[in-house]
């Protein structure tokens, strides 16, 4: 039952996001990046990395996510916020743009 509820919520969110993106003239996203290179709930190695839908839900040991990388393609601009020494390596890796998206979804 809980999976059914989550699937319905994900589908509704996907529909709403599609509608809102179609209305917008200019689309900006604001994202944080984790020390493992995840962003917007797109964890390394997760199904969200390669999903073709705008939204995707999946379980992790911590929580369920409702985002995926496909939604980035709809944006005109993305603003990324990172803070702390523990993220310097991630920032360095992002600037190289050589890491597989599967290992560091923030490459999107």
Domains of the chain plus CATH, in order, are 2-107 (3.40.50.1360)
- The DSSP annotation for 57-73 comes to -EE-SS-EE---GGGGG
Kindly report the pTM of this predicted structure.
Answer: 0.75
| Structure-block tokens of residue 41 | 């709930």
What per-residue confidence (pLDDT) applies to 63? 62
CA separation (Å) from 97 to 9, 32, 90? 34, 17, 11
Q: Can you say whether residue 43 is alpha, beta or left, with left for phi > 0 and alpha for psi between -120 and 50 degrees?
A: beta
Q: Is the confidence at residue 74, as pLDDT, over 60?
A: yes
- The size of the chain, in residues, is 108
What is the pLDDT averaged over residues 33-43? Answer: 88
């Amino acid at each position: 039952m809980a999976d059914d509820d989550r699937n319905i919520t994900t589908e509704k969110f996907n529909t709403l996001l599609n509608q809102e993106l179609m209305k917008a003239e200019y689309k900006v996203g604001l994202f944080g990046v984790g020390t493992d290179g995840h962003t917007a709930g797109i964890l390394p190695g997760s199904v969200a990395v390669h999903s073709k839908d705008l939204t995707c839900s999946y379980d992790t040991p911590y929580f369920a996510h409702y985002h995926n990388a496909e939604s980035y393609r709809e944006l005109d601009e993305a603003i990324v916020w990172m803070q702390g020494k523990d993220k310097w390596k991630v920032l360095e890796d992002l600037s190289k743009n050589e890491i597989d998206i599967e290992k560091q979804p923030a490459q999107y």
